[in-house]
Amino acid sequence: MKPDFSKGLVPAVLQHWTDHTVLMLGYMNEEAYERTLEENVVWFYSRSKERLWKKGESSGHVQRVKGIALDCDDDTLLIQVEPAGPTCHTGTKSCFGDSPASPLLSLEAMIRGRQAEAGEGSYTNYLLGKGLDKIAKKFGEESFEVVIAAMKRDREELANETADLLYHLFVLLHEQGIPFHEVEQVLHLRHSRKNNFKGERQDVDNW
């Protein structure tokens, strides 16, 4: 499977691999296509800059490839991706609308970015530097804070403590090398009637 580059650039449509949102349209030459296959992140050819560019090369919001389909004329690509944050440079999830990017994806991308930058004064880097014991302890503490807020029936406190809990959960997942899309896959499977878990975890079938 390879596009026909004999007529020049080939349009490539990016689509979110789980919710199927159309994210953007870009163009590839043969080299961009080959680098996309090689690195498993999307590369384009910029018509304005007249060079190759990796989507997210400056923002860190790369597009991880999950699947590639070629149309019937071999001249258009549909690429299913896992975005590492907002796809559009305006900060929205898609270039075809003004819906904000998923806060969870943005949170995951922020944690990766903090580690990559290794900036001093970053609480995220502090936690990652302390290691699993500290991260797990903080997650446990935040879990307890959520319970306390719920028992108090304090809506504002519960929302704030839940946000803190999610942050520490994502730090924990990052430390363990588990991207959030793996959690999403489990959720998708649990909601799919075609999946019977091979006799395991039957307690979740009635969610």
pLDDT, one tens digit for every residue, the chain (207 residues): 799 999 899 999 999 988 888 999 999 999 999 999 999 999 999 999 899 999 988 777 899 999 999 999 999 999 999 888 788 887 788 999 876 667 787 788 788 878 877 666 789 999 999 999 999 999 999 999 999 999 999 999 999 999 999 999 999 999 999 988 788 778 877 876 554 545 555 555 555
What pTM was estimated for this model as a whole? 0.57
Same domain, 139 and 177: yes
Same domain, 34 and 72: yes
Q: Give the per-residue pLDDT at 181.
A: 76
Amino acid identity for residue 7 in this structure: K
- Residue 158's SS3 state is helix
What is the spatial distance between Cα 186 and Cα 192, in angstroms, rounded to a whole number? 10
How far is Cα of residue 149 from the mean position of the Cα atoms in its chain?
A: 30
Same domain, 112 and 167: yes
What is the spatial distance between Cα 92 and Cα 22, in angstroms, rounded to a whole number? 12
* C-alpha angle 46-42-180 in degrees, rounded to nearest 5: 140
The residue from 53, 83, 113 where one domain ends is: 83
Q: Give the per-residue pLDDT at 205.
A: 53
Same domain, 68 and 143: no
Domain-embedded: residue 168: yes
DSSP letter assigned to residue 94: -
Q: Give the per-residue pLDDT at 202.
A: 52
CB atoms within 10 A of CB 13: 16
What is the spatial distance between Cα 108 and Cα 194, in angstroms, rounded to a whole number? 30
Q: Give the per-residue pLDDT at 59.
A: 77
- Return the CATH number at 124: 1.10.287.1080
Amino acid identity for residue 12 in this structure: A
**Structural domain harbouring 52:** 10-83
Same domain, 116 and 181: yes
